[in-house]
Chains A and B, each alone.
Chain A
Amino acid sequence: MEKKKAKLSLEKKHNLTGWAFLLPASILIFVFCFYPMSQAILLSFRKTGGVFNGAANYARILKDKTFQQCLFNTFFYFVIQVPIMLVLALMLAQLLNNPKIKGKGIFRTLIFLPCATSLVSYSMIFKSLFAPDGVVNRVLMAIGLSSVDWFQSTWPARWVIVIALIWRWTGYNMVFYLAGLQNIDYSVYEASYIDGATPFQQFMKITIPLLKPTILMTAIMSTSGTLQLFDESMNLTAGGPGKSTMTLAHYIYNISFVETPKFNYAAALSVCILVMVAVLSAIQMKVGDKRD
């Protein structure tokens, strides 16, 4: 009886220690993530000064032409860039996972290196590379194409952002896939090769199913990252020409801190982004779960 009591209190003690260990981190997340989120939701239903405003801020969003433009831009980046980047990353990871390839370390380092540059820095590099008489236009002219005024026209400017994003993040995602692939025994690939599987079949039937949890994680991270895109829009194209490359986050920043502050309206826009991220992540999780 005595012994049981002692054991129980020991368990209780360990339980409490556990709570003490995880409490600081949890409190920080509640204070600096969940609480501000609830504040943003409250703000979005009020006018400047704190008067309750109903859904007026949300009604205004529906009529906001700039918002529609930024929403389109952001979704363009999302729809084009995320799939290209993830497929490229998967392909490179599969190539690097092959034990017969030599110099893996060097390839991996070079492909990952862009991730070490800050978003502001690489925006500057790409701005200079795609300048009217920059390196890219010189290459285009050298191979007989005409040069493009990248930052003065809508679509080329959008493509520069997509290219820059792919450059910056492919290696990052590749590292996660490489890590995931290391948990797959390479003999699976060899066996399927003997059975006559083509590389494409191996990719579709072995790599993708086995990496599904990792792919899901990177897809959710990329979705959330793309919908929050800010540094590139701000520093690479300054949202221009006009507002044709401006992202939602850049727009929210502008109406909160650049023009006369409209915090309440900005909060309503933020809540929209939150809903979009949540919906897209939920869809991805649903799709990811389906083939189980």
Chain B
Amino acid sequence: MKLSGGDLLMRALKDEGVKFIFGYPGGANLHIYDSIFKQKAFDHILVRHEQGATHAADGYARSTGRPGVVLVTSGPGATNAVTGIATAYMDSIPLIVISGQVQSHLIGTDSFQETDMMGISRPVVKHSFIVQETKDIPRIVQEAFHIATTGRPGPVVIDIPKDKTDPSKYYQYKRLKEVSIRSYQPRVFPHPGQIKKACKNILSAERPVIYSGGGVILGNAHKELIALNKLLKAPVTNTLMGLGAYPAKDKYFMGMLGMHGTYQANMAVHNADVILAIGARFDDRITNTPSKFAPKARIIHIDVDPASISKIINADIPIVGQVKESLAALIKEIKRSKIKIDSDSIDSWNTQIALWRKMHGLDHDLYLQKNKSKMIIPQVVIQELYHATKGNAYVTSDVGQHQMFVAQYYHFNKPRRWINSGGLGTMGFGLPAAIGVKLAFPKREVVCVTGEGSIQMCIQELSTCLQYNLPIKIININNQALGMVKQWQDMNYGGRHSASTYSDSLPDFVKLAKSYGHVGMKVTKQSQLKSTFEKTFAMKDQLVFVDVYVDPDEHVYPMLVAPNGSMKDMWIKKNTKA
């Protein structure tokens, strides 16, 4: 059967198992939209801004593990998508972004809605294609999915000039049995010699720490991680991106590490003698000053991306391979090994960590305290949310203080439940990401924890939620200021709140939610929180926007002391260093 370029694209996407496309039509992709109209394999979700499309596809990808698909038009459609592409790139999320392009003969003439999408997206994609021959569309789509989802995943752009989807020209559809790209062969299995070395080192450790990142979730290796620590009994810390990979309820779990990590996690990393880093990249929000990072530790680093290894912190034992395969090999080696873990040392190490936790650990029972100040403390909102959802919700967030409070206080016991922009730190991510998650899991509770700053960066997607009947729950931690900016200004700029407040010009979020056809509620007292959440989650078929007014002066702690601090240098509360 012969198909037009647009229909070839539909067929190729169908064969990749695509269920949803998030997009926005325009001149350059209209032929494609006509093909979408005529097919039944997947649903198209019309967003209200292309940034929303990329974040929604991203949320879908993070929660399901399958690539998200985006369709935008040329020019402004393409440039609007760039923030979302960069967000996915920084967190290694598989996305396929199809952008319409002006007709081939107009490229380079500054024609209407023309922009060099290949050029403008180049630094933030894993790879990109421009379709030069219509017949190549099926192969390019196959290669794009292959590249996006294998090795270290990432976004791939396919730029399609309008004439390549001309509905009056037909081509044969051909699907390759196997994708093979001579210049792209990501490593799967680790080097056995390195696994042996890692095994010996981790088993001989007296103060081991497992530091695991987003790679464990992306590589679907959480079961292996848990199995590994059944053998090692080592304290475990997750990065912001890694939360949920190791169950928060486990007794060896120390919480998140880094800039706003727990006291015990940061102290453990600083004092460790062996650090097993798995699918993590020693980001600057983790290490603090790299030269002062974990001075006594030997570093074992497992990652599928060789460039992540020894980039910031030198690895003593580098292991390049898929996390799942590498951990499986390490588990096998440990079981085979004659060396046994030094139980006495490990016990006293875990005791030390319990001591640190007791000294300055997070208080997870804040919500039980009678609130004297009458202002709601944001941490309490997250604790109440955790209990209201029994810890089972998919939680998306935006960026700032509220994001850190969720990471600290919502205990994630399963992977792919915590959806946030870690690497790029993109405000506006939370609501559209929740759309992608809710479409993938319509029967699950999907909560977007946001702030009054972030939510306004993609608030137009409330309209998308109405169109597709997506009963997401939005918890707006409203401190009437750009909280994290303000915190830095409090701590480092003498309290001069330059361009970080707007309390006299905020919208009435309750009315706003209502005007978009949803339910809005406002909470100002801690005593109302629990009952409001009960009401919220009882409304199964409605999007509920809960506007929670919180104490604007609250800060996120712990916080690493910078610049020039190590991981043991932390502010544990206002004006108090540990």
A and B: interacting chains: no
Residues of A participating in the B interface, judged by any CB pair closer than 8 Å? none
Residues of B participating in the A interface, judged by any CB pair closer than 8 Å? none
